[in-house]
């Protein structure tokens, strides 16, 4: 993990202290920083799909190479091609209906996640795969979207609690977790937590290709806060 993020960030000195200087105590930010960087300390896999990502604990022949090879291009689809992703997942589920990851992808490729049909699918998949991490994350995000006020008091569920017992995760799994965590941090009132989380992401140097959404969310909030400090908005 050695990519830079100059496309989304100010200089290291600027981005590391914009919030910190104005909105919270140094000690509080440092405490959050240590907590986050310890939690995100896990091996990232980029060239292989762990069986745990598929949602199976015992490798089975029919789940291995063929399914994983079909999944690789799906994860690279942009939002504009989500309908294509839904079609591919629908075809795959005919042969692999009991794979939790395909259930998650069906949710992931749903364009309008505020619709009742999404909520019904999510509820069904939660019952079918209650312990699957990615569906847990989807449920947490959906809950916040339905009740945004709760993010003001919500703690970020640690990565190691979501992916319990895992020594490594795929970078797609990390991306989904970071979107959830940043979402909670952005909508909450604790700006020290958001700033610390931002600094951790910069210091860990995650690849740009799967961090674009996360950094875009953070930068939007930074601009809003800076405008507040300048007295431009309420």
pLDDT in tens, 201-210: 888 877 666 5
Task: Decide if 2 is inside a domain.
Answer: no
Residue 116 has pLDDT above 70, yes or no: yes
Residue 157 burial (CB count, 10 A): 16
Task: Report pLDDT for 100.
Answer: 94
The answer on pLDDT for 18 being more than 70 is no
194/11: higher pLDDT: 194
pLDDT of 127 strictly over 80: yes
Is 178 a domain residue? yes
| Residue 141: Cβ-neighbour burial (10 angstroms; 0-12, 13-18, 19+) | middle
Q: What is the percent of the chain where pLDDT is above 90?
A: 30
Tell me if 220 sits within 8 A of 18, measured CB to CB. Answer: no
Beta strand 168-170 pairing with 43-45: parallel
User: 209-225: per-residue pLDDT in tens?
Assistant: 656 666 666 666 555 65
Please check whether residue 1 lies inside any domain of the structure.
no
CA dihedral 112, 160, 52, 42 (to 10 degrees): 110
What's the distance, CA 126 to chain centroid?
Answer: 18
Segment among 39-48, 107-116, 174-183 with least mean pLDDT: 107-116
As a whole number of angstroms, the distance between CA 108 and CA 78 comes to: 12
Whether residue 48 has pLDDT greater than 90: no
Whether 220 maps to a domain, the answer reads yes
Strands (E), 82-123: none
Domain count, the chain: 1
**Lowest-pLDDT choice from 25-34, 45-54, 107-116, 148-157:** 148-157
Residue 155 lies in a domain: yes
Is residue 170 within 8 Å of residue 50, measured between CB atoms?
A: yes
Instruction: Give whole-number Cα distances, 33 to 2, 5, 61, 136, 203, in Å.
Output: 20, 19, 42, 24, 10
* 32 vs 183: CA distance, rounded Å: 16
Q: Which of 182, 143, 138, 137 is nearest to 161 (CA)?
A: 137
Residue 226 pLDDT greater than 90, yes or no? no
What is the mean pLDDT of the segment spanning 41-53?
A: 88
The token duo for 200 is: 């951790």
Task: Write out the residue range of the structural domain in which residue 57 sits.
Answer: 12-229
In the predicted model, what is the mean pLDDT of residues 151-168? 86
Q: Say if CB 74 and CB 105 are below 8 A apart.
A: yes
Q: pTM for this structure?
A: 0.78
| pLDDT at position 183 over 90 | no
* Residue 4 belongs to a domain: no
């Amino acid at each position: 993990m050695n990519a830079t993020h100059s496309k989304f960030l100010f200089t290291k000195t600027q981005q590391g202290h914009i919030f910190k200087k104005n909105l919270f105590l140094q000690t509080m930010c440092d405490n959050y920083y240590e907590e986050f960087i310890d939690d995100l300390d896990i091996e990232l896999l980029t060239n292989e799909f762990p069986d745990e990502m598929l949602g199976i604990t015992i490798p089975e022949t029919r789940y291995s190479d063929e399914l994983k090879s079909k999944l690789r291009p799906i994860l690279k689809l942009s939002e504009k091609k989500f309908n294509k992703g839904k079609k591919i997942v629908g075809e795959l589920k005919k042969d692999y209906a009991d794979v939790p990851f395909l259930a998650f992808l069906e949710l992931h490729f749903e364009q309008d996640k505020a619709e009742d049909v999404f909520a019904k699918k999510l509820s069904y998949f939660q019952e079918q795969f209650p312990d699957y991490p990615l569906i847990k994350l989807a449920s947490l995000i959906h809950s916040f979207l339905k009740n945004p006020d709760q993010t003001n008091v919500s703690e970020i569920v640690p990565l190691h609690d979501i992916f319990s017992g895992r020594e490594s995760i795929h970078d797609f799994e990390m991306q989904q977790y970071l979107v959830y965590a940043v979402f909670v941090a952005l909508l909450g009132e604790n700006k020290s937590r958001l700033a610390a989380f931002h600094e951790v992401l910069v210091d860990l140097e995650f690849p740009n290709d799967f961090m674009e959404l996360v950094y875009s969310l953070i930068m939007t909030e930074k601009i809003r806060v800076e405008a507040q400090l300048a007295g431009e908005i309420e």
